[in-house]
Amino acid sequence: MGYAGRDMNKGATRELAVWVIKRLRKAGFEALLAGGCVRDMLLGMRPSDYDVATSATPQQVGKLFGRVMMIGAKFGVAMVLRGGRTIEVATFRSDLSYTDGRRPTQVVFSSARQDALRRDFTINGMFLDPLDDRIIDYVDGQADLRGRLVRAIGAPGRRFGEDYLRMLRAARFAARLDFSVDPATARAIRRHAGKIASISGERIYEELEKMLGEPNGEQAMALVGRLGLAVPIFGKELAAQPRWAEAMERLERLAADRDVTLSLAAVLMGEDAEQVSRLTRWWGASNQVRKMLLWLTERPDAWSTAAELPLSALKRLMSNPAWTKLRKLWRVEELRRTGRETASRKLTARTSRIAPEQVSPPPLITGGDLKAMGLGEGPRLGRLLRQLYELQLAEEIRTPAQAKSKARQLLACQNR
């Protein structure tokens, strides 16, 4: 059952899902569209992906389709590959027990009804037979779609005890769909909220990325706060008022960018570097994201004086890859605090006068040039190069000849 890596790059289309279902049906198995794609179609939204649920076991799926990955076979999942796309084909199952707040320790293959009852929310628990356009709804998901409710299937506490990440997913679905969280479901989330810290930080970060990748990410994050999830995810100090409200004000102005790093910076702005570093390491964020968030959040008040910075210091800020994000963050912070953009406009006026090629120009003088003047290897060489580059950024030296002349002056002073 070989496969090419490129086949995993694209999600399933409805056409591929129907092809899989027809082939399973022809072989005598039950097969239906399942989960989020059914919800989205009933809401008149275009699904981003399609999943198939079936009575066939992963091994039977593997025999029926030529190219299949068995990555999740012990949980009843096979991945069928065709035409550069991948579709998840899952066997109807019941989950017998959970011990880690993440995944079942044992599953038993069962019926479509039992499969629906083990899912997270009613709006995600419906099936669709695409061949006769028939909805199969064992959990009253259609009623909750009409009522615009995110409701746990069965006992909410049990559902969240099975997988604590479902608590974050409830906030994400409610915000994305502009739904409310069912009161009993919300109470269960508040009761179990602290337990989310026991699961992998990487899974939490993945969910935050999905939330903040939506245009209404601020609604999801505000709901995270109201449901008591902000404390275990971000810490007591940041989640306390008025800091959380201030973070939500910033996020409200930036969430439409769908820039996850910028949105997280809006939430974390003003946090000390140790806490930002601790959180990003727990989340498993990349080194690039970690460094960017540290850089963005370390200067919460600098927006007010940035226009008066020395030219060399300003250019160093402008040369950072996250400069555009920092400008947006400063602008919304000034608006939040003052209701005006006075400092932001001053900074824009000043930076617009700096030629792009002068922001981070190549050095006018090199270590080889200094060695030719008689300076040996060592810390002194590095210090002088940095000093000369600062003068270059400040535009006090503009040509290689001026740089060499200044270097001679500085060396003469140091040798006295």
**Tokens representing residue 362 in the block:** 């190549």
Strands 93-98 and 85-91: unpaired
| pLDDT score for 2 | 40
DSSP code per residue over 173-242: HHHHHTPEEPHHHHHHHHHHGGGGGGS-HHHHHHHHHHHHTSTTHHHHHHHHHHTT-HHHHH-HHHHSTT
Query: What 8-state DSSP symbol labels residue 92?
Result: -
Q: Which residues contact 295 (CB under 8 A, 6 or more apart)?
A: 320, 322, 326
**Tokens representing residue 214 in the block:** 């939506």
What interhelical angle do 217-226 and 201-212 show, nearest 10?
Answer: 130
CA distance 31 to 324: 49
| Rg of the chain, C-alpha, whole Å | 28
> Phi first, then psi: what are they for 63, rounded to 5°?
-75, -30
CA distance 161 to 312: 55
| Residue whose tokens read 């006018």 | 364
| pLDDT score for 1 | 38
CA distance 125 to 197: 26
Per DSSP, which regions of 55-141 are E strands?
Answer: 68-72, 77-82, 85-91, 93-98, 104-109, 127-129, 134-136
| pLDDT score for 9 | 52
Long-range contact set of residues 8-14: C-beta below 8 Å, sequence gap at least 24: 8/81, 8/86, 9/84, 10/84, 10/85, 10/86, 11/48, 11/49, 11/50, 11/85, 11/86, 11/87, 12/49, 12/50, 12/51, 12/85, 12/86, 12/87, 12/88, 13/50, 13/85, 14/47, 14/50, 14/130
Query: Helix-strand-coil percent breakdown of the chain, rounded to 5?
Result: 60, 10, 30
| pLDDT score for 193 | 97
Query: What 8-state DSSP symbol labels residue 31?
Result: E
Tens digits of pLDDT across the chain (416 residues): 343 443 445 778 999 999 999 999 999 999 999 999 999 999 999 998 999 999 999 999 999 998 999 888 888 899 999 989 999 999 999 865 555 545 555 568 889 999 999 999 999 999 999 999 999 999 999 999 999 999 999 999 999 999 999 999 999 999 999 999 999 999 999 999 999 999 999 999 999 999 999 988 999 999 999 999 999 999 999 999 999 999 999 999 999 999 999 999 999 998 999 999 999 999 999 999 999 999 999 988 999 999 999 999 999 999 999 999 999 999 999 999 999 999 999 999 999 999 999 999 999 999 999 999 888 788 889 999 999 999 999 999 999 999 999 999 988 887 65
**Tokens representing residue 281 in the block:** 């390491």
**Tokens representing residue 105 in the block:** 């320790």
| pLDDT score for 108 | 81
| pLDDT score for 187 | 98
Q: Which CATH class is domain 1-147?
A: alpha beta
- Helical segments of 286-378, H only: 287-297, 311-318, 323-338, 342-351, 367-372
| pLDDT score for 232 | 96
Task: Look up the CATH number of domain 153-297.
Answer: 1.10.3090.10
Strands 149-150 and 180-181: parallel
| pLDDT score for 115 | 95
List the domain boundaries for the chain. 1-147, 153-297, 299-360, 367-415
Whether the model pTM is above 0.85: yes
| pLDDT score for 78 | 94
